[in-house]
A and B are shown apart, each in its own frame.
Chain A
Amino acid sequence: MGASGRYLVAVSRGLDAEALSEVRAIHGSGVHMVECEGLQAIVCDVDLDEFGEEPLRGNLENLAWVEEMARAHHAAVCAVDAVATTVPMRFATIYESDDRVAEQLRVLRDPLTEALDRVEGASEWSVKAYAAPEPPEPADRPRAESGVAYLAQRREAVEARRRRESDDEEALSAFHHELARLAVASRRLQLQDPRLSGRQEPMRMNAAYLVAHHAAERFSDCATTALTGRPDLRAEVDGPWPPYSFAALELS
């Protein structure tokens, strides 16, 4: 075993150290707390033979490794988020010592406090919308009589598809605004590539909402029902998540 580093999972406040006894992070290790300026960093020890710069670069090429660590990171964030106001850190934020972690808390006290203020009493909800797969071209359509007719046929198909997409966008924009009204904050995220989502239906909306705990049920109901008038669109709601999408630092 080589030298060890401190892997920073999340920053919290108002956390009772006892509540951390069951939290497991990287490789199932326990976590401890580094406190400074009223902020609490949740950290676990990692082996720098695995998480040092060189080995880390190599390990990030190994998806099985990334998966295991990503799930461990996420599980630890969720466990901490369940018991205190928490802002998650990006994957693989590593320091040499507890002192260095404390120093960061001191330097970043104001923006970290603002980030915690923003997410207090709320959770992230993910809403994605998918369109039904493209209808197949009718097999019995007459073949075009001429090159011009053929091209017109193709153009009409492209037009129809464009109209469908624009209709979808209008409906989803209204859907998003309706959901955003129930949320503290909202963000439309990049549509996931079908290769990432693993879905064959085209994704039309990918959004994250920061929703107050007391409004969660209303939010979820709205997300569930607001698209029922559009049988060709389907919404999927997932949550609550720790507030990953709303935990950016505003550095002055």
Chain B
Amino acid sequence: MTQSPMETRSSAPAYGGVGRPQPQGLADILERILDKGIVIAGDIRVNLLEIELLTVKIRLLVVSVDKAQEMGIDWWRNDPMLNSSAEQLAEENRELRARVEQLESGGTDGKG
């Protein structure tokens, strides 16, 4: 049995169980009040659909990383588009491409 990936997060409940997330987070609230609920035209007309949730969050990132971390939002850490792992991916891609070319041209990787 491999080590549970969750063991590094001591506060997280185990898989197969159920977790109670922290008090309703901003992401869940925004998902509901911007996207759900009764929609009727007010006298003030601003199209909320233009304010995509994601756009809002990306703006948040641009505007204030500290603020976002305060709010417990740190998704960009895992976002290949937004952090250094993008470079890792690009590097891995380059390596893979080189290796495929090498193999297809009948070459060896220097060990065989």
Q: Interface of A with B (CB < 8 Å)? A: 5, 8, 11, 48, 51-53, 56-57, 60-64, 66-67, 70-71, 73-74, 77, 87-96, 100, 104, 108, 112, 115, 126, 132-133, 135, 143-147, 150-151, 189, 192-200, 223-225, 227-238, 241, 244-245, 247-249
Contacts and interface: CB of A to CB of B under 8 A. Distances in A.
A195 B30 CA distance: 13
Given A93-B42, A150-B99, A238-B24, A194 B34 contact: no
Contacts of A233: 15-16
Contacts of B60: 63
Contacts of B4: 132
B86 interface: no
A195 B76 contact: yes
A194 B27 contact: no
Contacts of B2: 135
Nearest to A67: B26
Contact of A64 (B51, B67, B76): B67
B36 interface: yes
Q: How many of chain B's residues touch chain A, expressed as a range?
A: 35 or more
B38 to A, nearest CB: 5
A117 to B, nearest CB: 14
B67 A63 contact: yes
Contact of B19 (A77, A151, A234, A247): A234
Contact of A132 (B6, B58, B78): B6
18 contacts: A5-B43, A11-B38, A61-B59, A64-B67, A70-B29, A70-B34, A77-B33, A87-B37, A89-B40, A93-B40, A95-B42, A132-B5, A133-B5, A143-B109, A198-B74, A227-B18, A229-B16, A235-B19
